[in-house]
Structure 1
Amino acid sequence: MQRENKIYLASKSPRRRELLTQVGIAYELLLLRDIPPRGPDVTEIVLPGELPHDYVSRVTKEKAEMAWKVMHLRKLPVRPVLAADTTVVIDQKILGKPANRDEAISMLTLLAGNTHEVLTSIAAQHEHGLIAATQVSEVSFAALTEQQIQAYCDTPEPYDKAGGYGIQGAAARFISHINGSYSGIMGLPLFETCQVLRQSGIFIP
């Protein structure tokens, strides 16, 4: 009997779904809780003294491990589970998703005219263990006026993205240079993802 060539994706990000579809990886969503009453399945709080690379790697592995447990609790067919987490870092400061307009303006003001890092960690849990990788890219922003920043923050785009911007959206006009993985900056580095999934038993030509 041929083994099913499909994964579970433990992410709500529409961009990650688009990227998996782009390279022909079949998936089903396996979503974790992020709201009460019992609280989130995985918290994204930075631990005291935790470095950005360690943070994004830890959170991603916890997501994959929790999703694997959920798969068994729900008695779902056993498949590899893929999780990912992206964080924006400038001067070793982690920028998460802005909670409101003021936070978004503050983040864009910090990024404007500077180069920052985008760290995306991926982890695949499968029957024989967990495989993980973290991809790091550099993104340079042009200098921005206060008017440009406020106009961008008046749109819905900054509020569900680490660092308060999306490279695949209107913020592309602010970005002067990238060094690394475009798909990684979007939220799922496809080269590394395919490598990890192959090692997890998924056939990818």
Structure 2
Amino acid sequence: MKPLILASASPRRKDLLEQAGISFSIVVSDANEQIDEQFTPEEAVLSLAEQKATTVFEQHPQSIVLGSDTVVSLDGEILGKPASEQEAFRMLRALSGRTHQVFTGVCIVSEEGMESFYEEVDVSFYPLTDEEITAYINTQEAFDKAGGYGIQGVGSLFVERISGDYFSVVGLPVSKVVRTLASYQVSSHLFR
């Protein structure tokens, strides 16, 4: 069995794969992670996941490499990770009382080739007050998350409902990933 490498620095993706009983190592990709400004959110997450996976695969060609990326989209506009408190505030104010989309792209690369897919999830926020947004920003949780919030943390208090795979919003559609990895002879120790 070939070793699996997760090409991501995300602690959330690491935790999800560990919870699924998958054995893997981590090699953080040094890909530029540039996307064409004309890309749709779907194209963006697939491109970013592929960049991460292929960059690490070039260094470890005897492995199976899993790359993933997540973006938040509101009215077709991609919301990345906020660089400042002001940007986080603007993002959360825009998401307040609205439904947005979270896209998570996955790319698996091995000697046999490359396989990519994405998941799209609708997330609806309750209306937020300026005080709630400011208090949330003060937790510092907003700054390493696409769209300026983490559904698995304090940001869960903003979510009225989701339609789709919760774990995709966290950062990895873990059930689909595990089922896809099975075709590469990578399986969860939970089912052996």
The TM-score range, normalised by the shorter chain, is over 0.9
The secondary structure found in structure 1 opposite 2:186 is coil
Q: 1:75 maps to which residue?
A: none
Q: 2:40 maps to which residue?
A: 51
Alignment of 1:71-150 (within 5 A): 71-72=60-61, 78-150=62-134
**Which of these residues, 7, 22, 31, is aligned with residue 25 of structure 1?**
22
Q: 2:142 maps to which residue?
A: 158
How far apart, CA to CA, are the structure 2 residues paired with 1:195 and 1:130? 16
- How many residues are matched? 189
**Which of these residues, 161, 174, 187, is aligned with residue 203 of structure 1?**
187
Q: Structure 1: which 5+ runs fail to align?
A: 34-40, 73-77
**Which of these residues, 159, 163, 167, is aligned with residue 151 of structure 2?**
167
Q: Compute the TM-score of the two structures, normalised by the length of structure 2.
A: 0.94
Q: Structure 2: which 5+ runs fail to align?
A: none
Q: State the Cα deviation string for residues 175-196 of structure 1 (Å, max 9, x = none).
A: 0000001110000011221122
| Structure 1 outlier segments of 4+, above 6 Å | none
Say if 1:131 and 1:196, in contact at 8 Å, map to a contact too.
no
Say if 1:31 and 1:67, in contact at 8 Å, map to a contact too.
yes
The secondary structure found in structure 2 opposite 1:54 is helix
- Code of the residue aligned with 1:59 in structure 2: it is L
Q: Compute the TM-score of the two structures, normalised by the length of structure 1.
A: 0.88
Indicate the larger mover: 173-182 or 191-200: 191-200
